[in-house]
Amino acid sequence: MPRASGVSGQLSRYEVAWEAINRLIRTGGSWSGYERNCFFRGGARGGFANLSAAAGLDWIEDGRGLAVSDFDRDGDPDLVLKNRNAPQLRIVRNDAPATNARISVRLEGRKSNRHGIGARVEVEAGGARRVKELRAGSGFLSQNAPELFFGLGAARRVDRLRVRWPSGVVDEHRDLPPGACYTLREGEPAARRREFAALVPGPAAPGPAAPAPPASRAEPIAVGDGPATPRRLWLLDPAPMPRLELVSADGRPWDWRPFAAGPVVVTVGSPRCARCVRELVEWEEARRGNASGPPVVALMRAPGDPAAGDPADERAAIDALGQRTSVPIALAPPESLLALSITIEDIAWWPRELALPTSLLVDERGAIVRLYEGAVDWKQIERDAASIPRSAAAREEAALPFAGTFFATERRRNPFQLGVAAMEAGLLANALDAFRDALAWRPDDVESLYNVGLVRLELGDLAGAREVFSRAVEVSPEFVDAHLNLGVAGAREGRLDDASASFERVLALRAGHVEALLNLGNVELARGDPQRALAHYRQAAASEPGMSAAQKQLGSVYRRLGDLGNARAAYERATAVAPDDAEAWSNLGVILAESGDLAAGRVACARAIAADPEYGAAFNNAGLIFGALGDHAESVRAFERAIALEPAGVAARRNLAREHLRAGDTERARSALEDLLELAPADAAARELLRRLAD
């Protein structure tokens, strides 16, 4: 889960990597690098033969689970394969030639567990003895059917079948003919026999062709210069339209929702997309003189979006399109298009880069009920708008790709994952909407509560965040991250005692929790007790030596205590574990300079600037070192660069004024101080410097 405590540790990097992998899978990538499945056959004398290709099981999908069961009841094991990517399920029927005898065994426990899990079955036939044990948890994310298969070779009977049950009971059965599944009940002498289905002497003949789908399910698909295979999708569970910040062609805020008194079509395109323009013009012609169809709203990339090309050319193209159609055209900034594409990705798992045009049929509640990828005929739009399925049964009939029975317990989408995707994209308002929808469905869903708290924390709503995190820890008292961020919210509000209690609770639940220790140190610093803060920072650094944040906090508090040697050592450890951490290099430069090694301090600041050329504090610190070295020109350049990067900062402006004073340039010093006081009128140091200039 995303974190809000300001510490980027190993765990958060791990979570980011997982999300990147999951996004790869959702967009059609391969988890396994397109490695083929393997199938091995065990030999009678030990060892295995690779029959992957010969058996036809060497598919290139990302296989995850495998289960064995006799689906056709012919006595040989069939397979079920579960994949991460499509096809997500394969059922493989075993039709190997039936040249040898076989039996299968199912167990029914009485004193033992119902399926006889853990029972040991010995079969003696034709002078050979075979032993198998019935096990649970037979594979990753999968479980075989509770059935044991025994090949008998040329034997005409099972001489003896012995079952040692988990309870300790031992049953024996003799002279069992092959060619059947035997159900054995614990403690009973009789075995129930079910003959195998007719054994197939060779590969099965092709079955009858699948019947054509009912005519009512056939849909005309527009062809032309749209996607190679345009897609249409009715939703089993209509999804709310995302929050969109749109503007009109003249730049005023624009809202599509007044058009949705009834169904409305929202189409996403570009004035430079030939099929998008042609579709709008064709819709206009089809709608002329026919008021029965739904209204249409067209969303175009806002000029200025780097993906849209030259803004002036893009605006001219939009104006030209407006002359050809009366369809209202709204301009969508990149954030709104991203919100829409994330929503469609969550609904349909279509790629986040939308094919143009993509259209949505939205009902009067503002919910998406139908998706169209590529150009679509207006008559299809009219039919769909007039026949929007209103009941769950009707939506099921429209949405399922073939006839069948839907056995899912809930026919609705959990908006939680949509909220996570929106939050990762920085769309906090959309994320908050999605998590609220998740809570409306499941009010005590602790993960949704937690993420609402994270969004509120990010938006600066500290009281709201604290309220939601408090609710999360009520629902789940051992939810460590909720306690942690409850403490963060309290600390930012200035409720230091409450924050400290939350961080202590984290440590009680998970000893050595690095972020809790760092935050406890921050609380002690806010209370004015650097020694107690130092103890927490030391413990954090010992708990996770590879975390640069812990080393930087150590360096900061050592410097505050005047211990420059330990401060230098801490910052050097921080740069060793995070060589691209500009803040660590910049602060190391300050420590080196304060220790008298100005040359080394200058080098450290240069490393900080190389790591992050946009980090203003590094330029400010470099300016101080250049000034101490007597290089006035470089010092001024560094301070001016720091001001350009962080115009609202006052430290670099104050230092620039002091450098001009040191060089005797009173006019430039006065100008720098006046600029500073315009920004921060209450700055006492700047006023004192101006007073000295006046004297």
pLDDT 10s digits, 1-23? 344 333 333 445 666 677 777 77
Q: How far apart are CA 431 and CA 429, in angstroms?
A: 5
Q: Are residues 190 and 225 in the same domain?
A: no
Residue that terminates a domain, selected from 344, 372, 399: 399
CATH of the domain at 185: 2.60.40
Query: Tens of pLDDT along 100-144?
Result: 899 999 999 999 999 999 999 999 999 999 999 999 988 888 999
* 287 and 380, same domain (yes or no): yes
Report the domain count for the chain.
3
Kindly report, residue by residue over 539-575, the tens digit of the pLDDT: 999 999 888 999 999 999 999 999 999 999 999 999 9
Q: Quick one: three-class SS letters along 651-663?
A: HHHHHHHHHHHHC
What pLDDT score does 4 carry?
39
Residue 386 is part of a domain; what is its CATH number?
A: 3.40.30.10
Quickly state the pLDDT bin for 229 (edges 50, 70, 90): low
At residue 16, the pLDDT reads: 65
Q: What CATH number does the domain containing 485 carry?
A: 1.25.40.10
Residue 265 included in any domain: yes
Let me know if residue 54 belongs to a domain.
no
Provide the mean pLDDT of the chain: 88
Does the residue 110 lie in any domain?
yes
Q: Which of 161, 195, 229 is the endpoint of a domain?
A: 195
The residue range of the domain holding 591 is 416-694
Neighbours of 40 (CB within 10 A): 12
Instruction: Provide mean pLDDT across the span 502-513.
Output: 95
Domain assignment present for 5: no
Residues 255, 351, single domain; the answer is: yes
Q: Are residues 519 and 561 in the same domain?
A: yes
DSSP 441-493: H-TT-HHHHHHHHHHHHHTT-HHHHHHHHHHHHHH-TT-HHHHHHHHHHHHHH
| 188 and 230 co-located in one domain | no
Do 436 and 374 sit in the same domain of this protein?
Answer: no
Residue 23 is classified by DSSP as H
Q: Is-contact 66 139, C-beta < 8 A? A: yes
Instruction: Note whether 305 and 191 are same-domain residues.
Output: no
For residue 446, give every residue at least 6 positions away whose Cβ sits within 8 Å of its Cβ, in sequence order, or none.
472, 475, 476, 479, 482
* Nearest to 633, CA basis, from 672, 610, 671, 662: 662
Whole-angstrom distance, CA of residue 233 vs CA of residue 377:
15
The region of weakest confidence among 25-34, 159-168, 334-343, 665-674 is 25-34
- Report yes or no on 21 lying in a domain: no
Is residue 20 situated within a structural domain?
A: no
Q: For residue range 583-616, what is the model confidence (pLDDT) as tens digits?
A: 999 999 999 999 999 999 999 999 999 999 999 9
- Cβ atoms < 10 Å from Cβ of 553: 26
Region 312-341: mean pLDDT is: 89
pLDDT tens digits for 18-70? 777 777 776 677 888 888 999 998 877 788 999 999 888 999 888 889 999 99
**SS3 for 191-205, per residue?**
EEEEECCCCCCCCCC
Token code pair at residue 195: 């003959």
Which DSSP state fits 345?
H
Same domain, 594 and 456: yes
Cα angle, residue 88 at apex, residues 83 and 91 outer, rounded to 5°: 90
Asked if residue 324 and residue 281 are part of one domain, the reply reads yes
| Percent of the chain whose pLDDT exceeds 70 | 91
Is residue 442 located within the same domain as residue 326? no
Does some domain include residue 270?
yes
Structure tokens at 287: 């709608």
CA distances from 80 to 68, 83, 268, 599 (A): 6, 10, 41, 68
In a domain? residue 626: yes
pLDDT of residue 204: 42
Angle at 258 between CA 300 and CA 236, to 5 degrees: 80
Please check whether residues 488 and 621 belong to one and the same domain.
Answer: yes
